[in-house]
Amino acid sequence: MAPLLEVQGLSLAFGGVQALDNVSLDVEEGSITAVIGPNGAGKTSLFNTISGFYRPQTGRILLEGTDITHRPPPKRAALGLARTFQNIALFRGMTVLDNIKLGQHVHMKTGLLAAGLYLGWAQREEIALREEIEHDVIDFLEIDHIRNAPVAALPYGLQKRVELARALAMKPRLLLLDEPVAGMNREETEDMARFILDVREERGITVLLVEHDMDVVMDISDHVAVLNFGREIGAGSPAAVRDMPAVIEAYLGHADAEADMPGASGAS
Amino acid sequence: MDFFLEVSLVGLAIGGVYALVAVGYVLVYRTTHVINFAHGNMMMFGAYFYFTFAELLGLHWTISIVLTVIAAAGLGAGIERVALRPLLGRPAISIVMVTVGIASILHGAAQLIWTAGDFFLPPIFPDLPIVIDEMYIPANTGYGFLVALGAIGGFLLLFRFTRSGVAMRATASDQIAATTMGINVPAMFSLTWVYASITAALAGVVVGSITTLNPSMGLIGLSVLAVVILGGMDSVIGAVAAGLIVGWIEALTGFYIGGAFKDVVPFVVLLAILIVRPHGLFGTPEIERL
Amino acid sequence: MLIGNFKERYEADEAIFRTTRSRVWLGIAVALIVAFPFVGNSYHLYMAGLIGINIIAATGINILTGYTGLISLGHAAFMGVGAYTVAWLSNNVGLPFYICLPLGGLVAAAVGVVVGIPSLRIKGLYLAIATLAAQFILGFVFNEWEPVTGGGRGTSLAAAEIGGIVLDTEFELYWLIVVVMVLALLFARNLFRTRVGRAFIAVRDRDISAEVMGINLLRTKLTAFALSSFYAGLAGGLMAYFFKVVSPEQYTFSVSIFMLAAVVVGGMGTILGGILGAIFMTLIPEILGEITQIFGAGAVAMLSSAREVVFGLLIVGFLVFEPRGLAQIWKRIKRVYEIWPFRT
């Protein structure tokens, strides 16, 4: 079976800076795949290209065999691509509930006229939406106590969780998480790691994540790809990647250093 | 054909004055990222300052100009301090609306202070038309053009070579880095508004000399804003070029099609350009960081 | 003191008026609106009519500026498009008002979409300039296209008429305006508890996330433009029937500023904000008028100038001190009342 996401020979340059250089990556259906690498390695550029904000100069991106390289971001959402952002990008003027409701935007049909009149069909759709996210997202991520709170007032860790909730409400096939545990304390990190595993186990959603916290990466991912200076320098199981000389060098500077990288949690 | 050249020349001369107004918009936008809708009315206020000193108080024109510059500086600093400083860090939309509010205050205040009637500014320039190759340029327009050019040049030099000019440019390119380098960013904002207000006042005196003085003079500022957008909000060269272009187009439309069309042409051109080149003719498109 | 607000069904929790108390308030408001024309004199009704029209217009600009985050400096021009359309249709085609009014809104919406097209390429502030350009271009058209607009003198039209009843007194027009206003407000309120309205707010708050959620930015912005202009056109059409004359100076740049001020003062991004702002801003000139009369005839001549200064001061003052407007002040008062006798 073909991988859920295929990235083939992606290159992206900003002026003279080569952000991505012939990067290829396969994400198997049902897997948790991690992309790691030092700062400036091109991880976020890769994410932004996959979600459609940057146009690659060469290469292709296939989602379930469909070439999405030239589709605008909203079209990718409809095909089952969801993501979170490194610096939380919630809708700050709305409540938690409304933020999550927005996740289902592409799956709803109500148009302008029906929305304004709030008659039959529109109302049923809104109520069905409410029931669905209450059960599938709010209960699931244990955020029922804050559903009516304005997101701007929430602590950082909860905002991250709401962003995950919003992405889940999109009912994605593939979920991109950009540094899901960055800046969290240990307890919040453990909660988030558990939620990511649950997302895969209970929902069967495939996850692709960028993360600096090596403990989390090693614990939850099935497959790890390592980027440095826009190039892929290694890929494989967490255990295999951990021992690759090129990877150790990228992180520690020279190959003969002690390979204690996995312990360096929160390396940045 | 002779008419075409003569009309063009007059148009370009007025365009030079527009360019001076335009530079004021660019100054403020570059440093503070604010589109200042009150700029036209600040210009109108500058003209009234000069009118007050030179006509009402009967001072010599040189003293009047100096006092006008000082008063304009005070106005600029006051607006920045009272209305804009408290909004640092707020969404751009709020800040723009504050300038719209200030424009409204200035317009109403001018009517209350100086009434809505038309006045003539006491003449500054010699009353001899400039003749180039048998083409007449009215004295005020011609000399006004020269003054505008001089003022623009002066501010460019100020921007490029003085300490505060360099600090302002640093603030424009990166506020946080500027702060860490020890630049007092709020003071730079204040200085920017002072400079912008002075350019506006000088332009106001020139425009008031060419035409008449009344509280609606600020409306010119809005068509010049169209000019600035054409040039790209952050480009001084663009502002100057666009100022000349709009002066020229206005003069031609006024002459060949009719006076009423003159005022609307900049906006039609603007809307067309916005659709084709959203960042103006010379502006830099912003690269967005996610 | 309000202890809690428990619901057993999501329908109940998604309703507009969720608490008994808010339903009581609604009842009181309806009673006041219905009783008002029977106790007020014609001046009161005239002011009420004006307020109603301004509420519709302010809600329109609120949809664009408050909810979608796109500044409009040309709202009055779209009102003008609605007014002239209604006048022309009524005079030249002889259509009844209940057809003219929506058509006026639709024509304004169509013009709004044209002005909004640059939003495909330009962001935020530049778009404000596009609306400014629209204001001046349309103002020019109102003045110069004499065969249709009557030029600078404007054009007049016959009173609205339905089933043999001629709506030509303040009393009758009051009902027309109230009905249209209530429908317009309900539509807007419903919109913002459903998918379409949420997309507007999403575009305002974080356009990048909105795109990732599958929201088409251009389409959303154009829809906001169209709807906002439709409200403007509707308000303009009502103004045409209200004054029975349409002329360029009713729809100038300063009227656009008035509308912007109304939503800033009332509170951007809330329906209540548009209502409160429109009431407040319509009454301010009247109060100013009363005050200037004390100072004699000379002061009265300065009224329009003083009004501009006050509008400007209100915009600046509210943005500096209470950016969420009267609606927020109201909310704060309500909160004190709800948790009484405890304090926050």
pLDDT value for A264: 43
Structural domain boundaries enclosing B129 = 2-276
Chain-chain contact of C213 with A106 (C-beta, under 8 angstroms): yes
Assigned domain for B63 exists: yes
B/C interface, count of CB pairs below 8 Å: 135
For an interface test with C, which of B82, B274, B284 has the most C Cβ atoms less than 10 Å from its Cβ?
A: B274
Nearest to A73 by CA among A106, A48, A51: A51
A111 and A195, same domain (yes or no): no
A64 and A190, same domain (yes or no): yes
Structural domain ending residue among the three candidates A169, A184, A215: A169
CATH number at residue C264: 1.10.3470
User: Rounded mean pLDDT of chain C?
Assistant: 87
pLDDT value for C170: 85
Residue B88 pLDDT class (50, 70, 90 cuts): confident
Backbone angles phi, psi at C282, to 5 degrees: -75, -35
Give the HSE-up count for residue B270: Cα atoms under 13 Å, Cβ half-sphere: 34
**Residue of higher predicted confidence among C67 and B265:** C67
Assigned domain for B290 exists: no
Assigned domain for A103 exists: yes
**Residue of higher predicted confidence among A110 and B232:** A110
CATH number at residue B127: 1.10.3470
Q: Which residues contact A265 (CB under 8 A, 6 or more apart)?
A: A213, A214, A215, A216
Spell out which residues of chain B touch residue A44, defining contact as CB-CB under 8 Å. 290
Contact C329, C322 (CB under 8 A): yes
Assigned domain for B283 exists: no
Could you read off the pLDDT of B217-228 as tens digits, one per residue?
A: 888 888 888 777
Assigned domain for A88 exists: no
Chain-chain contact of B93 with C126 (C-beta, under 8 angstroms): no
Assigned domain for C257 exists: yes
Contact C219, A75 (CB under 8 A): no
A180 and A266, same domain (yes or no): yes
pLDDT value for A263: 44
CA distance B281 to chain A (A): 21
Residue A268 pLDDT class (50, 70, 90 cuts): very low
Q: Is B103 exposed, middle or buried (0-12, 13-18, 19+ CB in 10 A)?
A: buried
Q: Which helix (H) or strand (E) holds C289?
A: helix C271-294
Assigned domain for B191 exists: yes
A73 and A178, same domain (yes or no): yes
Count how many domains chain A has. Answer: 2
* Minimum CA–CA partner of B232 in chain C: C126
Using the 8-state DSSP alphabet, how is residue A16 labeled?
Answer: T
CA B134 to chain centre: 31
C-alpha span between C344 and C342 (Å, rounded): 7
| Residue A49 in contact with partner chain B when CB distance is under 8 A | no
Could you read off the pLDDT of B171-220 as tens digits, one per residue?
A: 877 778 888 888 888 888 888 899 999 999 999 988 888 888 888 888 88
**Cross-strand pairs, A207:** A32, A175
A163 and A176, same domain (yes or no): no
For an interface test with C, which of B33, B102, B271 has the most C Cβ atoms less than 10 Å from its Cβ?
A: B271
Contact B39, B221 (CB under 8 A): yes
Assigned domain for C83 exists: yes
Structural domain ending residue among the three candidates A119, A140, A169: A169
* Minimum CA–CA partner of A14 in chain B: B287
Count how many domains chain C has. Answer: 1
A121 and A63, same domain (yes or no): no
A177 and A157, same domain (yes or no): no
pLDDT value for C139: 93
Structural domain boundaries enclosing C206 = 40-338
pLDDT value for C122: 62
Could you read off the pLDDT of C128-148 as tens digits, one per residue?
A: 888 888 999 999 999 999 888
Neighbouring chains of C at 3+ CB pairs under 8 Å are: A, B
pLDDT value for C5: 66
- Predicted TM-score (pTM) of the model is 0.87
pLDDT of residue A262 exceeding 80: no
Assigned domain for B285 exists: no
Average pLDDT value for residue range B69-82: 94
Q: The dihedral of CA B253, B257, B263, B265: what is its sign?
A: negative
Could you read off the pLDDT of C282-325 as tens digits, one per residue?
A: 998 888 878 877 776 666 667 778 888 988 999 999 999 988 89
A2 and A118, same domain (yes or no): no
A182 and A266, same domain (yes or no): yes
Give the burial string for B157-171 (b: 16+ CB within 10 Å, else e).
eebeeeeebebbebb
C-alpha span between A96 and A91 (Å, rounded): 9
pLDDT value for B283: 56
Q: What is the percent of chain C where pLDDT is above 90?
A: 47
pLDDT value for C141: 93
| Range in A35-39, A41-45, B159-163, C216-220 the model is least confident about | B159-163
| Range in A50-59, B205-214, C53-62 the model is least confident about | B205-214
Could you read off the pLDDT of A205-243 as tens digits, one per residue?
A: 999 999 988 888 999 999 999 988 888 888 888 888 888
Residue A105 pLDDT class (50, 70, 90 cuts): confident
Assigned domain for B289 exists: no
B158 SS3 class: helix
Assigned domain for A18 exists: yes
Spell out which residues of chain A touch residue C194, defining contact as CB-CB under 8 Å. 110, 115, 118, 122, 126
For an interface test with A, which of B90, B94, B289, B290 has the most A Cβ atoms less than 10 Å from its Cβ?
A: B290
A178 and A118, same domain (yes or no): no
Structural domain boundaries enclosing A131 = 95-169
B134 SS3 class: coil
Average pLDDT value for residue range B69-86: 93
- Locate tokens 């005196």: which residue? B205
A165 and A224, same domain (yes or no): no
Contact B185, B199 (CB under 8 A): no
Q: What is the percent of chain B where pLDDT is above 70?
A: 90
C-alpha span between B103 and B92 (Å, rounded): 17
C-alpha span between A221 and A233 (Å, rounded): 18
C-alpha span between C260 and C235 (Å, rounded): 15
CA B96 to chain centre: 17
Assigned domain for C31 exists: no
**Residue of higher predicted confidence among B239 and C223:** C223
Nearest to C52 by CA among C187, C227, C235: C235
Residue-level length of chain B: 290
Could you read off the pLDDT of B92-148 as tens digits, one per residue?
A: 778 888 999 999 999 999 998 988 788 888 777 776 777 776 677 777 777 778 888
Structural domain ending residue among the three candidates A169, A193, A227: A169
Residue-level length of chain A: 268
Could you read off the pLDDT of C176-221 as tens digits, one per residue?
A: 999 999 999 999 999 998 889 999 999 988 888 888 888 988 889 9
C-alpha span between C7 and C10 (Å, rounded): 7
